[in-house]
Structure formats: structure tokens, C-alpha cells
Amino acid sequence: MATLSDQLLHRIREAHRRRTLSWWERIYLPAIAQGLWVTSVHFWRNLFLHLAHRVGLFRRIPAAVTVQYPDEQRPTAPRLRTRHRLMQREDGTPRCVGCMLCETVCPAKCIYIVPGEHPDPSVEKYARSFDLDLGKCVYCGYCVEVCPEDAIRMDTQRHDIAAFSRDGMWLDIIELLHPGSRKHTDPPKKFIQLELEDFRRLKQSG
């Protein structure tokens, strides 16, 4: 019996083998005509629908494949998770214990954590600073998967991750704990290190 690797190898060889062209394909001109046909159908269809939309007709049929974001939003899979957030304990301190597993597993290497000693020995460790560069993130969700504390999550159905600069894509620990607290014109506080008191104050000030 062929082993799995044999089977795989066979499939790869199959895929690489060039199919011999039929006589119809070899004369070449019909293929050109076919291509022109596909292009023209789309062209005329879009032209017609765009004009019709202008005068208020056929609005429910989309004119082109292009989605007119943000006026129009494509439905996405309900499982889609995008923008990260850090979960808080009751008093506003991060639930994250700074184990650095997410930092380690992240294939884009875009998580940066500096841990500190927590005064409560049953917690022992917490993230003094936690930075995540969404500009580098590939949204694989491994960080969420690996977290032993359920401290990092990704929000559902968020498409509006955009910024005017690279720095705008950078989430510092404040922004991660309190999403949306930073104005998009403000620069991130990269690598800012916070004490437990600071976290509590942040929560109280809302």
C-alpha cells in the first residue's frame, strides 16, 4: 500500500504534468474570441447597470464585482474575528499574566510584552506593557487560541481597521484595554509601562 507521502507525491506530479491541448485549443483563435466575449459581457452589463442605477432603476442588482465600501458592506462569516482587545479584571487591571505565549506564537511577531511582578502572589505576574502592531498582524487568531487566561480576544465583525499612518495601526496597552479611547489623530503611547494603580485609574476615568 502506498504511504501517505507516496500519495502526496503522486498528486503533486499529476498537478505538474502539462495537459496536452486538444485540436480546438491548439488553433488558438477561438480562445481569443472566448476571452473577448467574457470581457465584453461584463463591460456592457456593468455599463448598463451603472447608467440604470443613476436613474434609479435595478438598484438591487449590484453593478460590478467591486464592493462600494463603506457605503456597501459585504456580509462576512459570523466567525470572523479582527481587532484585538485585552480583557480586564474587575478592578480594571489586565487579566493578562504576561506569560508571553501569544508573543511567542505570533507568526507576524507583532506582539510586544514587558511583564512585571504582581504584588498578589496568586497572580504573580502581569503585563506592564503590551503592544500590538495591527499593521503587521495577519489576523490568524493564534494569540487568542494560545492564551491560557482568555486575556486577549478579537472583536467580531469589525472591518474598520484603518489608519492614516503606520503608527495609527499600533495598539498600546491603553487602547487594547479600552478600545476606541484614543483619537485617531493621537500617536500611540508605544511601550508605555503602567503600574496596577494606573490601570485602576484608567478604568475609573472611563
Partner 1 sequence: MAEPVKTVTLTVDGKSVTVPPGTTVLQACEQADSPVPFYCYHPGLSIAGNCRICLVEIEKAPKLQIACYTQAAEGMVVRTASDNVLQGRQDVLEFLLVNHPLDCPVCDQAGECWLQDYYMAYGLYNQKFDEQKVKKSAKAVSIGPTVMLDMERCILCSRCVRFCDEITKTGELGIFNRGDHSELGIHPGKPLDNPYAGNVVDVCPVGALTDKDFRFKCRVWYLGSTSSVCPGCSKGCNIEIHDNRERGQRPHIAQGRRIMRLKPRYNPDVNQWWMCDEGRYGYKFIDENRLTQVQLRDGSGYRAGSWDEALGLLTQTLRRLKDAQQLDRAGVVLSTHLTNEDLYVAKRVFGGFGIRSLAVQPARQGSQDDFLRRADKSPNTRGAQAMGLSFDVKAVLERAARKELSLLWVFGGDLVELAGEAQAKTIADSVDLLVFQGSNVNRTCQLAHMILPSAVYAEKDGTFTNEAGRVQRIRQAVQPLGEAKPEWRVLLDVADRTGFLWEFRDAQGVFGSLASHEAAFKGLSYDVLGDQGAMLPQKGSDPSGKGSDPNR
Residues in touch with partner 1 (CB under 8 A)? 97-101, 103-104, 109, 112-117, 121-125, 129, 131, 148-149, 191
Asked whether position 193 contacts ligand SF4 by CB under 6 A, the answer is no
Q: Which is nearer to ligand SF4, 49 or 114 (CB)?
A: 114
Residue of the chain from 147, 176, 194, 196 that contacts ligand SF4 (CB under 6 A): 147
Torsion of CA 98, 131, 81, 163, to 10 degrees: 170
Binders of ligand SF4 in range 26-85 (CB under 6 A): none
Asked whether position 137 contacts ligand SF4 by CB under 6 A, the answer is yes
Picked from ligand SF4, partner 1, none, the partner binding residue 152 (CB below 5 to 8 A depending on kind) is: ligand SF4
Of 90, 98, 84, 86, residue with least CA distance to 127: 98
Alpha helices, H only, the chain = 4-16, 23-26, 29-54, 101-105, 142-146, 173-177, 196-204
Torsion of CA 48, 54, 57, 61, to 10 degrees: 60
Picked from partner 1, ligand SF4, none, the partner binding residue 75 (CB below 5 to 8 A depending on kind) is: none
> What DSSP designation does 164 have?
S
CB of 152 to partner 1, least distance (A): 13
Tell me, by CB under 6 A, how many residues bind ligand SF4: 28
Amino acid identity for residue 160 in this structure:
D
C-alpha cell at 88: 480586564
Asked whether position 146 contacts ligand SF4 by CB under 6 A, the answer is yes
Which residues in 189-201 are b (16+ Cβ under 10 Å) and which e? beeeebebebbee
Picked from partner 1, ligand SF4, none, the partner binding residue 47 (CB below 5 to 8 A depending on kind) is: none
Applying CB under 6 A, the residues found at the interface with ligand SF4 are 96-102, 105-108, 110-111, 113, 127, 132, 137-143, 146-147, 149, 151-152
